[in-house]
């Protein structure tokens, strides 16, 4: 078994990952860290929940720490991490603080929903690392809040989403603001022709890294789809929550109107819930997300802005009030669960709770899955359960989702 000490990381980084409970690197970490440390451009594809953030952060932080700019009056930006959402920007900044503890690196995250002047003021002393969403980054470049002329490492996280956001002009502006001689690192949970073309146009002889198993987390998740009439979905959602005795779940809705409606519905029925969509102020969004992560509320109702990159420890249930419009978004929604393979320790209470949920999954799916031969072993391997409420208008995407998942998902009429 490979350990982090064998990957060329310095003692500070090794101590940091051990203190966080990580014992050995995942496949994507083992095969990406060396590539990034070598200075080569890197193109990495790995499923959600497999440790991609650490795979690009650890080696990049090590390379930045080789030069100490702490005495500089204004630190030059030497690394840019580009992400598609505000929530992911905050999470990456938090991860940098954890993994890079003791390295004396300064990080600033910038994204929409915050006044530009307040973000400009944060750069008076500069920063070693900037984590940014594309449009806000371009806004700050226009007012010359900082320069990207000394960037040595350019990382795109959730790169497939970034190249499909309709921000071609913004990406060109960002690339033009950086020196041509830099390391470029693309990480994504899903691949696409658009991402491959972007890599071909911009990366130089990249090292390509893909997991040996393209969907390891998906094999540990049960997918259950129920057909129902659109008008009956709210009552069906409440029945589903009651059926599985669900006390903690991420519920995806397609529109901000549905997020607001479902949040009010759940709260009116005695549950505690919060909602997130792109018109809610960023500060409120972060408070809501943290309250859900800390289990201060039972349900988080959200649009797809929280489907990518957001790490929620020990989330077992995800409910699709509506299926997304494309199968890649379904894969990313699914990826919010089954994230316990991170080697972080869990207490006995959490293990007992998971065992109860695994038992509920067995009971619900007994008609479709044969658990009679080795129920204990099968149950132990289940890391999450995804429920979807499917109306007739969404039937067409089900076969495509089944293909993306790698197993047939049958849609059954609700019988309760």
Question: Is 174 in contact with 184 (CB distance < 8 Å)?
Answer: no
In this prediction the pTM is 0.74
| Mean pLDDT, range 228-254, rounded to an integer | 92
Q: How far are the Cα atoms of 51, 70, 108, 220 from residue 76, in angstroms, in the given order?
A: 29, 10, 12, 44
Three-state SS for 165?
A: coil
Characterize the bridge pairing of strands 107-110 and 129-132.
Answer: parallel
Q: How many helices (H) and strands (E) does the chain have?
A: 16, 14
Would the pLDDT of 168 be above 50? yes
Cα–Cα distance for residue pair 316/382, rounded to 1 Å: 9
Report which DSSP code applies to 394. G
* CATH class of segment(s) 4-210: alpha beta
> In this structure, which topology does domain 218-413 adopt according to CATH?
Rossmann fold (3.40.50)
Question: Is 100 in contact with 16 (CB distance < 8 Å)?
Answer: yes
Same fold, 4-210 and 218-413: yes
- Report the candidate in 15, 55, 17, 6 with the shortest Cα–Cα distance to residue 33: 55
| Mean pLDDT, range 181-192, rounded to an integer | 93
Structure tokens at 375: 């129920």
Structure tokens at 274: 């919060």
Question: Is 295 in contact with 349 (CB distance < 8 Å)?
Answer: no
Would the pLDDT of 322 be above 60? yes
Domain boundaries, the chain: 4-210, 218-413
3-state SS string over 203-272? CCCCEEEECCCCCCCHHHEEEEEEECCHHHHHHHHHHHHHHCCCCCEEEECCCHHHHHHHHHHHHHCCCC
- Report the candidate in 219, 215, 222 with the shortest Cα–Cα distance to residue 46: 215
Contacts of 230 (CB under 8 A, 6+ apart): 391, 393
pLDDT tens digits, 250-290: 999 999 999 999 999 999 999 999 999 988 888 898 899 99
Q: How confident is the model at residue 412 (pLDDT cuts 50, 70, 90)?
A: confident
On the 0-12 / 13-18 / 19+ scale of CB atoms within 10 A, 249 is buried
């Amino acid at each position: 078994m490979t350990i982090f000490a064998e990957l060329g990381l310095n003692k500070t980084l090794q101590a940091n990952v051990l203190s966080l409970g990580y014992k050995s690197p995942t496949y994507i970490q083992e095969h990406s860290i060396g590539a990034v440390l070598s200075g080569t451009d890197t193109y990495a594809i790995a499923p959600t929940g497999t440790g991609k953030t650490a795979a690009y952060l650890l080696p990049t932080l090590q390379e930045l720490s080789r030069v100490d700019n702490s005495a500089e009056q204004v630190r030059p930006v030497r690394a840019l991490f580009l992400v598609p959402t505000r929530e992911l920007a905050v999470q990456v900044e938090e991860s940098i603080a954890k993994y890079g503890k003791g390295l004396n690196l300064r990080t600033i995250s910038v994204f929409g929903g915050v006044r530009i002047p307040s973000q400009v003021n944060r750069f008076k002393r500069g920063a070693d690392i900037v984590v940014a969403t594309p449009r806000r980054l371009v806004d700050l470049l226009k007012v010359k809040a900082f320069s990207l002329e000394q960037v040595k490492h350019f990382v795109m996280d959730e790169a497939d989403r970034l190249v499909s956001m309709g921000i071609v002009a913004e990406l060109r502006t960002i690339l033009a603001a950086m020196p041509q001689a830099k390391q470029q690192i693309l990480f994504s949970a899903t691949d696409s022709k658009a991402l491959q073309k972007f890599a071909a146009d911009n990366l130089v002889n990249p090292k390509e890294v893909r997991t040996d198993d393209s969907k390891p987390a998906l094999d540990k998740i049960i997918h259950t789809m129920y057909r129902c009439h659109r008008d009956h979905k709210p009552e069906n959602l409440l029945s589903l929550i009651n059926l599985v005795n669900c006390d903690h779940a991420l519920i995806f809705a397609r529109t901000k109107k549905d997020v607001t409606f479902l949040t009010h519905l759940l709260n009116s029925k005695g549950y505690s819930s919060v909602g997130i969509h792109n018109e809610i102020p960023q500060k409120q969004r972060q408070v809501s997300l943290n309250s859900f992560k800390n289990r201060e509320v039972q349900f988080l109702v959200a649009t797809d802005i929280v489907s990518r990159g957001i790490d929620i420890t020990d989330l077992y249930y995800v409910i699709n009030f509506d299926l997304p419009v494309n199968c890649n978004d379904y894969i990313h929604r699914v990826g919010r669960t089954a994230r316990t393979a991170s080697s972080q320790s869990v207490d006995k209470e959490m293990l007992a709770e998971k065992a109860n949920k695994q038992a509920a999954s067995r009971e619900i799916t007994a008609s479709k899955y044969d658990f009679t031969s080795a129920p204990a072993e099968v149950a132990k391997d289940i890391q999450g359960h995804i429920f979807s409420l499917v109306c007739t208008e969404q039937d067409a995407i089900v076969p495509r989702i089944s293909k993306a998942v790698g197993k047939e998902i049958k849609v059954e009429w609700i019988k309760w």
